[in-house]
Structure 1
Amino acid sequence: MQLTSIKKIITTKYMRNTGWLLFEQIFRMGLTLIVTTLMARYLGTENFGILNYSLAYIMIFTAVSKLGIDSIIVNEIINNKEESGKVIGTTIYLRLVSSFISILLIFLLVKLLNPNYAAVQLITLIQSISLVLVIFDTIGFWFQSKLQSKYVVIAKSSAFAIVVLWRLALIYFEKSIYYFAVATVIEGFAISLFMIAYYIKFKGPKIRFSFEKAKHLISGSFYYFIAGLLIVVYTQLDKIMLGKMAGSTTVGIYSAAFAISSLWVFIPTALIDSARPLIMTSKNENEASYIRKYKQLYCSIIWMGLGAALVITLLSKPIILLIYGKQFIESVSVLIILIWSRIFSLMGTIRAIWLTIENFGKYQVFFVGIGAVINIVLNISLIPHYGAIGAAIATLIAEVISAFIAVLFFKQTRPLFKLIIQAFLFKGVKA
């Protein structure tokens, strides 16, 4: 087959893959917007804050239970196709063990930090069960490596639709906050069920466990595990610190703004997820093509982010009033700050691709660690005086330094700073 024909096939698969990922994100965004609006209005700022405060613990330990393997598994499958079943099976086993440990740690931590808050303890425990039930979403990486995200999209979209119906039913029948916590468990179970069904249907490689592969995966993902944990810590720690220092109502105000600031991310997330295997493959074929594709991704995400941030900043007040109502009016100022932080957060995600390919995974830990320390210090300083706005400022500053400025701190990663600037200026982007 001629080279041009091969490129045409790859491009077609890439476009289809991206299309399906975009569909999932649009579908999820639309339903999220509807159900979040109704939930926030029904639960009110305090209960909405409690639910998100509890969920922050789950998000942190989700990073623990995944062990950082998500960052390297696609690359592992692409480079070792004959061992893909072993990679997937070993990952599932490792995540199963780490999930049970995470649930225990969550229970102990929440009980320690909230000894007299039984509601938070129970809600967090219920949601933590999802860590075990969602382990089979690992199968989705096999489909991603083959640029067949269609099946992952169908599985996750179907599961999400079920959860949305559950939440809408709870609002209609005026159920308590505890039933809303069960939604996380239902989604985890549904995703795993759908993924298993598709894997069997398309005769995925036999899932096996290998002790040697386990050591290899843990060793290769160690830096990404630490980095991923730190990322989630400093993106979710805001809510935990707000809950402890300013109360659940303030968490509700912050969470409402955070949810809106994340809604538009569906497009760049789809592009990044779809481009990742393509960029990784091109590295082994043509260095110039690899750099160009990587710059194209950076360029697209940066300028898309700037446009979205500007629009949402200008429309922040009517957006908050339309979605949440007057009781969340304080979220306007928080949203204006958080929306700009999302650009740098996405840049950090793209940076991880380059670090993985160039075997510089250890620097991801330094970058995210710097961001985490800055975020925690600023939270301690700003939250007591400015509440949710202080937490938003801390997040923005931490993201700017971690995702952009910090690459200048190390000689090996300085070329990435130049690459980012060139991508921003459209240099070397055109084929």
Structure 2
Amino acid sequence: MTRRLVLVNSAWLMADKIVRLGVGLIVWVWLARHFGPEGFGLWNYAIAFTALFGAFATLGMDGVLVRELVRDPSRTGMLLGTAMGLRLLASALAAFASVGTLLWLRPGEWLPLVLVALNAVVLVFQSAQVIDLYFQARMHARPAVLAVNMAFLVTTIGRLGLLAIEAPMAWFAVTLVIEAGLAASLLVVAYRSAERNNTPWQFDAHVAKALLLESWPLLLSSLAVMIYMRMDQVMLASMAGDEAVGQFSAALRIAEVWYFIPMALMSAAFPAMMKKREEGPEAYERYVQRLYDAMAWLGLTVAIITSLAASWVVPLLYGKQFTPAAEILSIQIWAGVTVTMSFVHSRWLLAEGLQRYGLVYTLLGACVNVSLNLILIPRFGPHGAAWATLVTQIGLLPAQLMFPKARRNFLLMVNAVTAPYRLVKQ
């Protein structure tokens, strides 16, 4: 596993996100201006609501599948076929559950129902992302990047056309389904071109059982993470209205837009991380420490710059009607310091086989976040939701001290603060 291979693969993953960032942010801003705070809030409410069920659709097995594909390439067809079958079933159940739950929560509201139903269809098409995991395991992200970006760019042109004719919101949601379907088709084409052996896919009940036994803690962790990452928007809608969701979501988009950098770096570095673990504890710990150092200071740099620029960036992008989102952003952005390190933390848990610890950790985070939202949203609205997220992200870190196997990892995270000193000392 060469450093050059990691860098090249990481570059392709970041190129994917940069294209989506550059083009997608423009469309996102136009959508916000087109819908206004209330309509934009409803749009994001539907996305966040469906995402809560979408966490179940992945079954938490992405990292486990990548690990198994790296360990035993000879089982590629069986692993991919089994994972695809499981995800298709799970995504279909999640889609029906999301629509049914919305009918119960917001009866008689047809537009939220249409938006959630279309987002639910997207969940089913996203089952094809197991092919993307195949390319990640092979450290060859280029085909998957080209496939999903082609689908993204084609549908983006369609969205721009809809903006030009001031189309209703439901039409924009249809483009999400078209994009997901096209991306799935192109991923299949990319896989067939790359897999020269044409290994047939097959579903194996024993493999399915093994994958589920390892991934269920990660699934529950993903559900917990999604609760405290997206439940705030759902709670805001019920407690403060769709306009509050619009202001919060406008800020959140900017606060999260750069997360593709740590995500891409860790997706590319995880196979190398596994190799370092095989070399011995010292090399492994040094590698993990360097990852924490990079992530912590990346997050801190972004937080400082964004806080200083928020008051003029938000009105410039979204217009004066979204001015309250600037203060929300100045709070939200600081959560990114711990979010970036969490990308390393989640991979470390997988490498160490501590999925059950991760489950307890994230469930605790979900409980804390929901509780804080219940207290802060009625009094402070979207600002309270932002504070709830920040306090949860930071306050959870010391919880690792309760678990003996995680205490050393907590020290590595804290030690990231001294990275500049250690760099100068070298």
Equivalent in 276, 281, 305 of residue 270 of structure 2 = 276
Partner of residue 162 from structure 2, selected from 142, 150, 170: 170
8 Å CA contact 2:293–2:417 kept in 1: the answer is yes
- Counterpart of 1:157 in structure 2 is 149
CA distance in 1, matches of 2:300, 2:344: 16
Which residue is equivalent to 2:337? Answer: 343
Matched, 1:46 2:38: yes
**Matched-pair contact (CA < 8 Å) for 1:275–1:297:** no
Equivalent in the alignment of 2:415: 422
Matches of 1:411 and 1:386, distance apart in 2: 38
* 2:223 is the alignment partner of 1:249: no
Moved more, 345-354 or 377-386: 345-354
Matches within 5 A, 1:102-117: 102-117=94-109
Distance in 2 of aligned mates of 1:315 and 1:335: 10
Q: Does 1:94 align with 2:86?
A: yes
Cα distance, 1:287 vs structure 2: 3.0
Give the Cα–Cα distance (whole angstroms) in 1 for the partners of residues 10 and 337 of structure 2: 20
Q: What amino acid maps onto 2:6 in structure 1?
A: Y
Tell whether the 8 Å contact from 1:382 to 1:390 is kept in structure 2 after alignment: yes
What is the CA-CA distance between 1:428 and the residue it aligns to?
7.8
Structure 1 position 292, deviation (Å): 1.7
Mapped to 1, the partners of 2:361 and 2:241 lie a distance apart of 30
**Any residues of structure 2 matched to 1:280-319 within 5 Å, and which?**
280-319=274-313
- Correspondence list, 1:15-414, <5 A: 15-203=7-195, 205-402=199-396, 404-414=397-407
Whether the 8 Å CA contact 2:57–2:91 is kept in 1: the answer is: yes
SS at match of 1:129: helix
Q: In the TM superposition, what is the alpha-carbon distance from 1:130 to its structure 2 partner?
A: 0.6
The letter for the 1-side match of 2:340 is L
Give the 3-state SS of the residue equivalent to 1:284 in structure 2. Answer: helix
**Cα pair 1:298 1:424 within 8 Å, conserved:** no
**Conservation of the 8 A alpha-carbon contact between 1:279 and 1:290:** yes
Change (3 A) 1:110 1:207: same
What is the match of residue 4 of structure 2?
Answer: 12
> Which range moves more in the overlay, 421-430 or 296-305?
421-430
Preserved CA contact (<8 Å) 2:41 2:245: yes
Deviations 1:85-115 (A, max 9, x none): 2111111000111111111111111011111
**1:343 partner letter:** V
User: What is the CA distance between 1:18 and its match in structure 2?
Assistant: 1.2
Code of the aligned partner of 1:148: H
Cα distance, 1:342–1:408 mapped onto 2, change above 3 Å: same
Question: What's the TM-score, normalizing by structure 1?
Answer: 0.95
Tell me the secondary structure at the aligned position of residue 279 of structure 2: coil
- Root mean square deviation of aligned Cα: 1.6
Once residues 272 and 217 of structure 1 are traced to their aligned partners in structure 2, the CA distance between those partners, rounded to angstroms, is: 22
CA distance in structure 2 between the aligned counterparts of 1:312 and 1:104, rounded to whole angstroms: 39
Structure 2: runs of 5 or more not aligned: none
Q: In structure 2, the residue corresponding to 1:208 is in which secondary structure?
A: coil
Runs of at least 5 residues in structure 1 that lack an aligned partner in the other structure: 1-6
Percent identical among aligned pairs is: 31
Q: Residue by residue, what CA displacement relative to the aligned partner does 1:306-335 show, whole Å, maximum 9, x if unpaired?
A: 000100000001110111000000101110
1:146 positional shift: 1.2
Deviates more, 1:376-385 or 1:276-285: 276-285
- Judge conservation of contact 2:341–2:413 (CA < 8 Å) in 1: no
Give 1:374 shift.
0.7
Distance 1:38 1:354 in 2: 39
| TM-score normalised by L of structure 2 | 0.96
Worse overlay, 219-228 or 347-356: 347-356
8 Å Cα contact 1:40-1:48 kept in structure 2: yes
| Deviation at residue 27 of structure 1 after TM alignment | 1.1
Amino acid at match of 2:334: W
The answer on whether the counterparts of 1:41 and 1:324 sit within 8 Å (CA) in structure 2 is yes
Aligned counterpart, 1:4: none
What is the one-letter code of the residue matched to 1:255?
S
Contact 1:130 1:188 in 2 (8 A): yes
| Equivalent residues, number | 422
